[in-house]
Structure 1
Amino acid sequence: MTPGATTGGSPLEQYVRSAVAAHRADRGALLPILHDIQATFGYVDPAVVPILADELNLSRADVHGVISFYHDFRKSPAAGTHVRVCRAEACQAAGAEQLVAHVKDRLHTDIGGTSPDRGTTLDQVFCFGNCALGPTVEINGRISGRVTPQRFDALLDKA
């Protein structure tokens, strides 16, 4: 199939092809397309890899490599509550490692995982820009600083 060709396809395929069309002229179009897909679906379904490779004249390995390199791209849907903990140096110095251990224990999952009840997904980031108030946690898009294990529990209970 030639780049830009349209097919009936699934709603996912139709969306991916329309995102490619919207960004085709952009330099480094793959990243904005992937961000569009994730913003729309909440994750980047592995089924988009061959479509993007075809549309952008890239290898499947190239597309997969970009998706797997950037930690912000999820390969499966996040749960209803999304927790992100900063692991950058300033937050580390303020106690982020102890907080991460507590969060993992509380959620019964590891970084990049989802709790057994499928209610909460845990991810890490490397700087929210809230360095003076570390350790920093984001729960469902709301950033909180100076988070202790006890404060995390209260924030999570509120979410």
Structure 2
Amino acid sequence: MNDLVQWDLQEVQEVITSLKHKPGALFPILHGIQNLAGYIPAESLPLIADALHQTRAEIHGVVTFYHLFRMTPPGRHSLEVCRAEACQARGSRALEAHVKAKLGIDYHQTTTDREFSLEDVYCLGNCACGPSIRIGDDIIGRVTPEKFDQLVDELTTVALEIRS
């Protein structure tokens, strides 16, 4: 089953058409599509390749090389764990292992319920309060495994209440 419906493909095509004549058009196109859909759908790769006179493999190679692009739909909550040295000195490696186990995913993956996407980041600018994470736009410091579990439970509970 396609993740995109027909009107999404039309909007993707509009992004491509509006940007394909710019110098270095590939990155603006990829950013535009990801801003539109939240990710780079596989169905968009042939459209991009045709517009830029490149192969699908070339486009796929760029999308998969850069971690800022995703080829799967993101979760409702984007979660980043800081892996910089200051956070590591304050216990981020143990937190990182706990986060992955709790969510059942690795970096650059999304939970099966599509609640959380997990990304790594190499500095959140919150070094004195490490280990730190970012959930959406909120940076949270001094995160312990227990505090992380509480945050996830709160976000999941809010999501369940909204759906009810």
After TM superposition, the score normalised by the length of structure 1 is 0.80
Deviant stretches of 4+, over 4 Å: none
Aligned: 1:77 with 2:73: yes
Q: Aligned partners of 1:130 and 1:115: how far apart in 2?
A: 26
1:42 matched residue in structure 2: 38
Unaligned runs of 5+ in 2: 156-164
Question: Within 5 A, what are the aligned runs for 1:1-159?
Answer: 10-159=6-155
**SS at structure 2 position matched to 1:105:** helix
Q: Distance in 2 between matches of 1:129 and 1:36?
A: 27
CA displacement 1:43-65 (0-9 Å, x = unmatched): 11111111101111222122111
- Name structure 1 gaps, 5 residues minimum: 1-8
Please give the TM-score of this superposition, normalised by the length of structure 2. Answer: 0.78
Residue type of the alignment partner of 1:146: R
Q: Does the aligned pair in 2 maintain the 1:13–1:51 contact within 8 Å?
A: no
Q: In 2 relative to 1, CA 10–118 (structure 1 residues): closer, same or farther, beyond 3 Å?
A: closer
Cα separation, partners in 2 of 1:30 and 1:130, compared to 1, 3 Å: farther
Residues 138 and 12 (structure 1), Cα distance of their counterparts in 2 relative to 1, 3 Å cut: same
Q: Report the secondary structure of 2:79's partner residue.
A: strand
Q: Secondary structure at the match of 1:77?
A: coil
Distance 1:156 1:131 in 2: 22
Q: CA deviation at 1:25?
A: 4.1
Is the 8 Å Cα contact of residues 88 and 127 (structure 1) preserved in structure 2?
yes
For 1:58 and 1:44, the matched residues in 2 are separated by 17
For residues 8-59 of structure 1, what are the alpha-carbon distances to aligned partners after superposition, in whole Å with 9 as ceiling and x for unaligned? Answer: x932332222212332343322112111211211111111111101111222
* Separation in structure 2 between the aligned mates of residue 130 and residue 139 of structure 1, nearest angstrom: 14
